[in-house]
A and B are shown apart, each in its own frame.
Chain A
Amino acid sequence: MTHDAMGATTESPSSIILPEQVAAPTVPPVHSDPAPTPTPAPAPAIAVIAKDPIHWGRIGLVTAAYLGSLIAFGVVVATKGADPFSVYHTMVKSTILNGGSLQQTVLRAIPIALAALAVTIPARAGLVNVGGEGQLIMGAVAATGIGVALGGHVAGPISWVAMAVAGALAGAVWAGISGILRTALNANEAVTTLLLNFIANDVMLYLIYQPWKDPHGSGQPQSRPLAHAAVLPRLFGSQLNIGLVAAAVVAVGTWYALQRTGWGFALRVVGGNREAARRAGLRVNRLLLSSMLAGGALAGLGGALNLAGVETQLRPDVTVTFGYVAFLASYLGRHDPLKVVAAALLFSAIALSGNGLQLTNGLDGAIVDVLLGLIVLAPLVMAKKRGRAT
C-alpha cells in the first residue's frame, strides 16, 4: 500500500517528460513508445498500448472488466424481474438491427458526439468541461430563437445556417463564461460549467413557460415550432438530415485541428505542462480560453442541429442528459476525436434502447443510465495511472 501511495504522488502531471523516462538510462524521445520493462511499471494509456507489442494479458483483463459491467447490469435488470438475455436482445434489436432504429441511433449521436468533442478539446489543454448539457441547451435555445423569428420569411438554407451559427455562438459564450472565469479569476472550470448547466436549464424553462410559449400547444409547454422551411431537410428520403453531414464535417475538422495543426499541438503542450508551455512562449491563457470557446461552439452546434433537424421545437426534456452522456463518451474515447465519436454512437444506441426496454421488457427507461455508468467504469478502473491521450 505504501508503495502505491508513493507511486501515485511521484507521477508527474506532465505527459511530456515522465519521471520514469528521465530515470531510464536510454531516454526515449517523446513520441516513441516507452520501452517495455519487466518491472510493474504504471500501465500506460490504451493509446500507447496500441503501438506497443500487443499485451494479451492486459487486453484480457480489460475485456473481462467490460464483461463484468455487462454481467452487473444483467444482475440489476434481473432484480427488476426482467430476463437479462431478453434485455440485451431488445437493446441490440431496437437500436442497430432495424434500419429505422439504426438511423435514429445515428441521429441521436449527433448532439452527443459534438458535445463529447466539446469535452475533448479543452481536455487536451488540461481543462475539464462538464458543461456539455448547458452548452447543448443554449445552442438549442439560440437556434429556436433565430429559427422561429425568421419563420418562413427567408429561404431554408439561410435559416439553417443562421440557426447553426447562432447555436455555435451561444454554446461558445456559455462555455466562454467558464473559460474567462478560469483564466482571469482562477475559478475551477469543472464546477462553474456544472453550475451553468442548471442555470441554462432554468433559462430554457423560463423561455418555454413564458415568452416563447406556443399558444396553440396543449399539455406540456413548448416553444412555437419551426417553420417547415427552417427544418433541416432529410437526406434521400431517409430519417437522416443534412445535420449529419455538417456534424461529420465538423468532427473531421476537429480531428484535423487537434492532430495536425499548431493550435492542436500547442493545446497538448499546455495540457502537458502549463509552466513549460509558458516558458516556451505559448500564450497559455489565450489557448485555454480558445479551447473552451471551440468546445462550447461544437456543443452549441450540436444542440442547434438536434433542434433544427429532430426536435423542431423547444421542450423541457430537449437534451435529456445528453451533455453528461457526452462527457462520459469523451472519457471512454480517451479524448481521441475518432474514438470519441465511436463512443458517442455506442452511447446513443444505449440511450435510445431505453425506449425499447420500456416497451418490451417493462423496465424504467432510466435504467440505461446504469449501463452507461458501468461501461465507463470498466476502463476507468482498468486504466491504472493512465497517461494523457496523445
Chain B
Amino acid sequence: MNGIEQTLIGGVEGGTAILLPALGELIGERAGVVNLGTEGCMLGGALAAFAAAAVTHSALLGVGAGFVVGAAFGGLHGWMTVRRHADQLASGLVVWFLALGLTSVFGTSYISRVVNPLPVLKIPGLGSIPWVGPILFDHDILVYAGYVLVAAIWLAFYRTRAGLVLRATGERPEVVAAAGGHPQLVQLAAVAVGSGLAGVGGAQLSVGYVGNWFNDMTSGYGFVAVAVVLFAAWRPIRVLGGAYLFGIALAAASVLQAHGVAVNQYLLDALPYLITLIALVAFARRGSSEAPEGLARALAQSG
C-alpha cells in the first residue's frame, strides 16, 4: 500500500466525519438557518456515542445516541433562532460553548476508556476491486451512510415536494406560509435533523475513525463543515467533494509524518484548514450569489 492509496483511504474515512455534519448543515442552511453550533453538536454526539458504546458495548447504539444528542443541541439552536429570532451566529457559538463545557465535565470519566469501534464492513465484490475497493468499499457503516445520504439528499432536494418546501422555506418563508405551509416547523425540523447528522459525524470520530474520546476532540471540524457548505454553494454533490478534500488533507498530514517527511507536525496540522480557506476563497465569488435568500437575510441582520 503506497502513500497515495493510504491518503485516499484515510481521506474517505476522515472525510466522512466532515461529510455527515456538512450534509446536516446543508439541510439547515437550505431552510435558512446557519448553525455554527455544528461544532458543538459534533462534540456532544462524539461523547454520547462513545459513552453509549462503552456502556452498551454496541457502537451502533452509540451512533444512535450521537444522533439524539446532536439533535438535542440543534433543537436548542433551532428554538433560539427560529422561535426567538436570536442572532444565528451568536446562538450557534452559545450552543458550542454549552457543548464544550458539558462534554468536558461529563466526559472526564470516559477519557482513556476503550470501546469496540464500528466494525469495518468490506463490501463483497466491490471491495475486492484493486485500488478502488480499499479506498471506497472497505470502511465502517457510516462511510457508506455518507454515500447513501448524498444521493438521498440530492433526490429529496430536487425531486420531491418536501425538498421543494424546504428550499422554498430558505428562500421565501412568506411564500411557503401563504401556500399553507409552516415555515417555522420546517426550519425547526431541518435544524434538528441536520444537527443530528452532525452528532453522527462526531460519532464517526469517537467510535469510528479515531476510536477514543478526549476533550475538544472535534478541533474545529464542525466549523470546517460550515465552510464546506459555503464553498460547495449549497449543492449536495459538491459538499461531498469538499468534505473528502478536507479528509484527504488531514490524512495527507499524518501519512507525510509517518513517512518521515521533515516538516513540523503543527504546520501539517494547519494544512487542512488552509486548504479549506483557499477553497472557500476560490469559490466565494461564484457561490455567494447562490445562497438561499433567507439565509443571506439572516446573516445580513447578524452583528
User: Chain A interface (Cβ within 8 Å of chain B)?
Assistant: 1-2, 4-6, 8-11, 13, 76, 80, 122-123, 126-128, 130, 181, 185-188, 190-192, 194-199, 202-203, 205-206, 209-210, 271, 321, 324, 327-328, 331, 335, 363-364, 366-374, 376-377, 380-385, 388
Contacts and interface: CB of A to CB of B under 8 A. Distances in A.
B266 A186 contact: no
Contact of A126 (B83, B98, B177, B303): B303
Minimum-distance CB pairs A-B, first 8:
A369-B101, A370-B101, A202-B270, A373-B97, A366-B104, A187-B284, A380-B86, A206-B266
Given A192-B277, A199-B270, A331-B90, A366 B177 contact: no
B215 A380 contact: no
B284 A324 contact: no
Overall SS of chain A's interface: helix
Contact of B215 (A209, A327, A366): A366
B100 A205 contact: no
Interface string B128-165: 00000000000000000000000000000000000000
B235 interface: no
A203 B270 contact: yes
B112 interface: no
Contacts, number: 185
Contact of A209 (B223, B264, B285, B303): B264
Contact of A128 (B96, B97, B176, B302): B302
Nearest to B220: A198
B94 A188 contact: no
Contacts of B89: 128, 130, 190
A380 B100 contact: no
Interface string B68-107: 0000000000001001111101110111111011101110
A6 B104 contact: no
A368 B104 CA distance: 11
B184 A4 contact: yes
Contact of A370 (B93, B98, B219, B284): B98
Contacts of B276: 195
A366 B100 contact: yes
A76 B224 contact: no
25 contacts: A1-B185, A2-B177, A5-B176, A5-B177, A8-B85, A9-B294, A126-B303, A186-B285, A191-B280, A192-B281, A198-B219, A199-B270, A199-B273, A203-B267, A206-B267, A209-B265, A364-B105, A366-B104, A366-B215, A367-B105, A370-B101, A376-B94, A380-B86, A380-B91, A381-B86
Contacts of A363: 105
